[in-house]
Amino acid sequence: MKTRISLVLLVMAATLLLTATAGAATRSISRTATTTFFGQAIPPVGTELTNVALFKDPATGQPKAVAKSIKVTADANGVLTAQVALEAGSGSTLDATLTWENECHWQLSVAANSAPGAPSTNATAVNLDHVSGSIKNTGCAMHVNMLLTGYVLGNSTFNVTLYANKGGFEGSAEVNDLVLGGTTYPHVKISVSTLSPKVHLQGTMKSSIGTFTTDSYVSAPNGAYELQLHVTGADLVFKTATFQITAFHFKANTSIPASGNASYVVSSATAGGTLVMKKTTYTLHDISLKMVGGTVTEFGFKIHIRHEKSPSEIYDGMLEMRLDGDGGTFEELTQGSNDNGWQLAKAEKTYTKALLGHVLLAKTRAISKKYKNKRFKRTVTIGLTFGVSVYKTSSSSAYHAYIGAGGFFDADRISGGFGCTFATESTNFSCLGTIRLNPAWAGVYRYTWEV
């Protein structure tokens, strides 16, 4: 009798347990990232799971792919399946269908050209309408086969293989001869993400003065692009056997129209570089650069030259170069004088294109001698300057050359200098020399000689 009662109670308990389990299966269940969302069999129709981590990053333990919701349904033949809202980042989801064998054998499929389940709340670099593929679990090993098709950037259209990461999808493609804003990128790696509004460009960028290495960002194409340009490079045309720019970098932000050329204007605050001249390395200063498309219309810089042979003997100078295709004016090295006996006069010459260069070198030496038991001290400065301009005065004119050279010295109460100029445009050649005398007992006297 006791045995029969025990069996009845066991059957009743089992019946109550099954009833409670069936009732729970029809309710919405929220699972954490550490919970397997299905067991050996798919749950009954009506079961809904939310915020389910499909699989995690082994290194960090963070979810790589997340389902915002999983709803169990049945097809026309009564076969159980599930509709999944696959998280794609920025509030967006992709509609996917789940086929299921067990927790180590299942597949999520995203149909090609299907509208996203939920559009993105922010602009991203990926059009979800063009994303398709599958996430497959085979033998408890995850395989992501997602593809972004027909992605357009500049003059190029290409496909990008995507992988899951941080609840979204991202990937990259290698592209040759990309043209963006009139600038050619011979080879770039283009990275896109459903989590970001920007496209990452890494590769080479071609310009009229050489090829740069670029690591830049472009906003998602939507009429006009916004470009955050960062380039480095040393493959420049400005080099000779003893003169070469060995490093150069700059940053610039600009808008790129859907068609046509973009303009970049770079100031010295966002640019830098080094120049090697006769095995000595110099830092570039006062850099200016302007590009229209891939054509550099202006490029200029200065370097400061200083060498201390001894505390009493110092060499100091400045080299300036500028390539200008936008037109402007330059100062001719004309004859003139000031209190030191020589100057670079501000006579302007107008040009449409020009290559300009100017060198100024000075040597300062402290002299201390003893004569008849008295110390004589003077600081003497000797300088040389050289300027050259190759320019056009109009788009149809021939190139002209202008050369100026001169020198000066300053020894306190006596100073002087000379300057010579030659211009092919007028075939003029002239030299001017001046000297300034300042006897302590007689004031200042100046003398000038012209050739």
Write the DSSP assignment of 407-451 as a string of letters.
Answer: EEEE-SSEEEEEEEEEETTTTEEEEEEEEEE--TTT--EEEEEE-
Question: What pLDDT is stored for residue 331 in this prediction?
Answer: 63
Report domain extents, the chain. 25-168, 311-451
Residue with tokens 């300009």: 356
- Pick from 323, 265, 327, 269: nearest CA to 292: 265
pLDDT of the residue at 16 = 33
Among residues 161, 157, 150, the alpha carbon closest in space to that of 192 is found at 161
3-state helix, strand, coil split of the chain in percent (to 5) is 5, 65, 30
CA distance 359 to 333: 12
Q: What does the block give as tokens for 426?
A: 């007028």
**What pLDDT score was predicted for residue 9?**
33
pTM here? Answer: 0.70
Coil, strand, or helix at residue 13? helix
What is the reported pLDDT for 258? 65
Side-chain-facing half-sphere of 296: CA atoms under 13 Å: 22
Rg for the chain, CA atoms, rounded: 38
Give the pLDDT confidence score for residue 190 in this predicted structure: 94
Residues 6+ apart with CB under 8 A from 94: 85, 86, 88, 110, 114, 116, 117, 128, 131
From first to last of the 451 residues of the chain, give the pLDDT tens digit. 444 334 333 333 333 333 333 333 334 444 433 345 666 677 888 888 888 888 888 888 888 888 889 999 887 887 778 899 999 887 888 999 988 888 888 899 998 877 777 777 666 778 888 999 999 989 888 899 999 999 988 889 999 999 998 888 999 999 999 998 888 999 999 999 988 888 999 999 888 888 888 888 988 665 567 788 888 876 676 666 677 787 888 888 888 776 678 887 877 777 888 888 777 888 888 888 888 888 888 888 888 877 777 777 777 888 888 888 877 777 665 545 445 444 445 567 788 888 778 788 888 888 788 878 888 787 888 887 877 778 888 878 888 877 777 788 888 778 888 777 777 766 666 777 778 888 778 788 877 776 5
Give the integer Cα–Cα distance in Å for 289 and 69: 53
**Residue 15: per-residue pLDDT:** 35
